[in-house]
Amino acid sequence: MDKKEILKEFSSDPDRFYKVKLFADEGFVRKSCLKCKRFFWTLDSGRELCPDDADDTYSFIGNPPTTKRFDYTQSWKEVESFFVKNGHTSVSRYPVVCRWRDDLYFTIASIVDFQRIMGSKVVFEFPANPLVVPQTCLRFKDLENVGVTGRHFSSFCMIGQHSIPNSQGYWKDQCVDLDFRLLTDQFGIKKEEVVFVEDVWAGGGSFGSSLEYFVKGLELGNAVFTEFQGELGKHTILDQKIIDMGAGLERFAWITMGTPTAYDCCFGPITNKLFQKIGISPNSELLRMYFTEIAKGLEKFEDLIDVRKHAIKKVGLTDEQVNRIITPLEGIYLIADHLRTLIFAISDGALPSNVGGGYNLRMILRRVIATMNRMNLKLDLDELIDAHIDYLKETYPELNSSREDVKTILKIEAGRYDESKSRMEKVASKLKGRGKPLTVNELITMYESDGITPDYLKELDVISEIPSTFYAKLSDLHQSEKKKGVEKLPLDNLPETDMLFYKDDPMEFEAKVLRVFDRSVVLDKTSFYARGGGQEPDYGTIAKYKVIDVNKHGGVVVHELEGGIPNEGEMVKCKVDSLRRENITKNHTSTHILNSSSRSVLGSWIWQHSAFKEADHARLDITHHSPLSESEINEIEKVANSVIKQNIPVSIDNFDRGTAEQKYGFKIYQGGVVPVKSVRIVSIKDFDVEACGGTHVKKTGDIEIIKITKTKRIQDGVVRIEFVSGQTAFDYIKQKEMDEIKSVEESAEKEQIQNQKEERKQKAREKIPVLLEKISAYHLDGTTTIDEIQIHMTKSSKFCFTSSDQYDEFFHINFGKKLVKNNPMITYVGIFEAGSTIRIIVYSGEEASKSKNAGNIAKSMAEILGGAGGGDEKFAQGGGKDTSKKVEAINKAKSMMLGLE
Ligand SMILES: [Zn+2]
Ligand SMILES: [Zn+2]
């Protein structure tokens, strides 16, 4: 939808869309900006320019328009007390990790807290009406601005003022009246300073008018009145109109303090701490001028690099001043901002990684480290984390409990960065010599493949500036990862299936066939659990056909059959394979137990990443930074089995989603988003509470036992735990014990064989010299046998031969070699069995080999034995498997050694 079109339409009827009661009561006049033509409302009838174009833009820096001074924490207290005093409920912030939406990693606006996606529709669920919330929002699209512009943050507090106009809530008149009084009464800003600018908002198929409110050129808030749906011209009024007023708490603090930047008044003691480290004072006239120019320049120039250059020129800063004051300041602001974001994200269960939303977190931590290195700052991150949390806990007490976890995670991540440095250095030094500058796409590829941030390249002077579009592009790239495709099946006009597995869950039932297509059948009711939440489907039979798959499409359960298919309209008998179901059920409850066991053993950052439950095996993937150690695995298993031993009841209750979220928090969304209004809460007392649509045992004792079979780090930040439970676990343990016994036996056997071999070797070593002695003493012309070695010594031929079992390879090799060395006229053949083969070793002495070639002898024998042999005239070996030809082979050898052939 074209916003400009809508704005033109709305502004053509200001009485209908913009003129609220306050404007009439106070005497606001409507003006059109001389420069940009936008319409705005003001009490100053002489004002001709909109806040963006007027000369007073950012004149609050150094000269705040309020008598009161409030920092970040105090500002929230003021805002909160004002709205509570005026009938609003103050709601605690929602997590910054947006687990209730499939399309967002992080909470990007306060209204997101209350949006739930049902099908393709966004519905709103308010825990109170009207309400106000200090919602921390994370945005990574314009990271290059952070620290530089004075007003951009990677995380900020959006004051969310929300109302549904009904008997409790209000609409435009009261909203604008409240916002005006917040500024004037509560913050003490003069009425004449407040300017409202006409605008519109459109998104997600709906749209409405909005009023942005400014003081001294600073946009403090934007009240959006979501009122219509559809295309402009053909639009209709929404059943549920919504007020979405979002204001920046950091800006509220800034306008009352008038510091050079919003950073100076929003990080509590942190910025001052850092200023001391580098020895600069932030409250100088020079900074006031510089950041006022930056603020003005942001409206004028597209590129931040130009904004900065322009401001430097305008204020007349020297290079020395820029290097000594501005650049270090920017670094300090960046460090403070990024650390604050990491604290919120890690506290809410996100981990830096190279996938999904974890991407941005790793990126900003690396920016922090690169900035510290570039500035040569030796900072203790733990100390800064403590200082941040000590300051933030006034508004966000929940951060206090995750202090140590945040430190742990950042330490691990910083360590990883250090480890990868030498590799990064290599890549960077190669780039240094290259003539042309790196493109944004090249920079993105480098970060994706090597984890090299542009900040690091800047630190090493490979690049001088980070391209302005880098962070936006990277963020877009990873946002689109979190989207899903939908399969289209012929299921039109079917009622939702009556899901018996959520009711009395009979394992045998009768049902009516409502639709048949391909090999699929839809019944009016079913007990077959449809694949979902990582739980595999039930099998069994429908009519006489095998059920091989079951899936849910919207509220309709589709069974896939094998062997045939019933007819539409038929009543069929159905039977669920109850043993399979029972095993899957045990595995499902086990994943819940293991998930919470892992969290209690490893840390608060453990979330279920995904899970899979089959009948005979299951796995749980958890978010964790490192592979699991043996002792961690044992500890998790121990905790899980103690929960089983306690035989805790597993209870299932249905809650209104909002109630469940308020009661248990967002930890219930371990298995991901629940797209229904009523959530099914599965709780194992306080130990584990999850929103889950799966089947579960009645008491933890029913599982009997959980056994972890394997763990593996499957991706950055995710560890897989494979496990079995119940009978499968007992079988597994038994099998493992048997395997162990077997392997002990096998190794004993191996050892025995090894020992025997050693013994024989030793024997051979002792025996060989004795034998050689005996043989050399035997000079008679004739034959004899010593120790089963036949000795043949005639004038025409001299040889020794043995096929005795007592001799092995070691003997033959060593004996034969020495024998022919002692007597070059001799030939030696040893034949022995090794496994299923008969092997031959032949030596022929220096002289003997001239007529009795060892290679030929070995080859001829091996051929007879059905094998092969080879070597040279002095030494050869061979073998074959035909044991029945052993005698024939021996005879052949003898005849060759006798010189008969
Ligand atoms: Zn203007
Ligand atoms: Zn579950």
Question: Is residue 198 within 8 Å of residue 217, measured between CB atoms?
Answer: no
Q: Find the 693 Cα to ligand 1 centroid distance in Å.
A: 54
Confidence check: pLDDT of 342 > 60: yes
Closest CA to 155 of 91, 250, 291, 259: 250
Give residue 597 CA to ligand 2 midpoint distance, Å. 15
Question: Which of 297-306, 454-463, 730-739, 768-777 bottoms out in mean pLDDT, i.e. has the lowest?
Answer: 454-463
DSSP 48: -
| Distance in Å, CA 51 to ligand 1 centroid | 7
Tell me what the mean pLDDT of segment 68-87 comes to.
95
| Gap from CA of 855 to ligand 1 centroid (Å) | 102
CA dist 161 and 177 (Å) reads: 13
The ligand placed nearest to the CA atom of residue 594 is: 2
Are 556 and 497 in contact, with CB atoms under 8 Å apart? yes
Residue 764, CB half-sphere, CA atoms under 13 Å: how many? Answer: 18
* pLDDT tops 50 at residue 484: no
Any idea which ligand is nearest the CA of 48? 1
Contact 820, 850 (CB under 8 A): no
Give which of 852, 876, 879 is closest to 867, Cα–Cα. 879
Tokens 């510089």 correspond to 290
What is the mean predicted confidence (pLDDT) over 759-768?
A: 89
Ligand nearest to the CA of 534: 2
CA distances from 752 to 301, 747, 748, 894 (A): 84, 8, 6, 36
Task: Tell me the angle at which helices 269-278 and 381-392 cross, rounded to the nearest 10 degrees.
Answer: 150
Ligand 2 centroid, distance to 615 Cα (angstroms): 15
Of 537, 529, 532, 523, nearest to 495 by C-alpha is 523
How far apart CA 295 and CA 259 sit, in angstroms, is: 13
Those residues whose C-beta lies under 8 Å from the C-beta of residue 176, and which sit 6 or more positions away, are: 20, 21, 22, 23, 196, 211, 223
- Contact between 474 and 490 under an 8 Å Cβ cutoff? The reply is no
Beta carbons of 534 and 610 less than 8 angstroms apart: yes
Which ligand does the CA of 35 lie closest to? 1
Radius of gyration of the chain (CA): 41
CA dihedral 564, 567, 571, 576 (to 10 degrees): 30
Q: How far is the CA of 49 from the centre of ligand 1 (A)?
A: 5
Distance from the alpha carbon of residue 473 to the mean position of ligand 1, in angstroms: 29
d(CA 157, ligand 1 centre) in Å: 27
Q: How far is the CA of 197 from the centre of ligand 1 (A)?
A: 10
Distance CA 220, CA 94 (A): 22
- β-pairing verdict for 837-844 and 826-834: antiparallel
Task: Please compute the mean of the pLDDT values over residues 655-665 and round it to a whole number.
Answer: 84
In the structure encoding, which two tokens stand for residue 821, read together? 């060395």
Q: Report the pLDDT value the prediction gives residue 485, as an integer from 0 to 100.
A: 41
Please report the pLDDT score of residue 1 as a whole number.
Answer: 65
Give the Å distances, CA to CA, from 740 to 255, 706, 723.
72, 20, 19
Per-residue pLDDT tens digits for 20-35: 999 999 999 999 999 9
Structure tokens at 495: 């009622």
Ligand closest to CA 589:
2
Confidence of residue 203 (pLDDT cuts 50, 70, 90): confident
- Give the tens place of pLDDT for each residue, 269-321: 888 888 887 777 766 788 899 999 999 898 888 888 899 999 999 999 999 99
Ligand nearest to the CA of 32: 1
CB 787 within 8 A of CB 807: no
What pTM did the predictor assign? 0.76
Q: Dihedral of the CA atoms 697, 702, 708, 709 (nearest 10)?
A: -100
DSSP string, 530-564: PBBTTBPPP-EEETTEEEEEEEEETTEEEEEEES-
Query: Ligand 2 centre and the CA of 531: distance in Å?
Result: 12
Where residue 674 falls among pLDDT bands split at 50, 70, 90? low
CA of 54 relative to ligand 1 center, distance in Å: 7
Tens-digit pLDDT profile for residues 104-149: 889 999 999 988 776 667 778 888 999 999 999 999 888 889 999 9
The closest ligand to the CA of 198 turns out to be 1
Ligand (nearest to CA of 37): 1
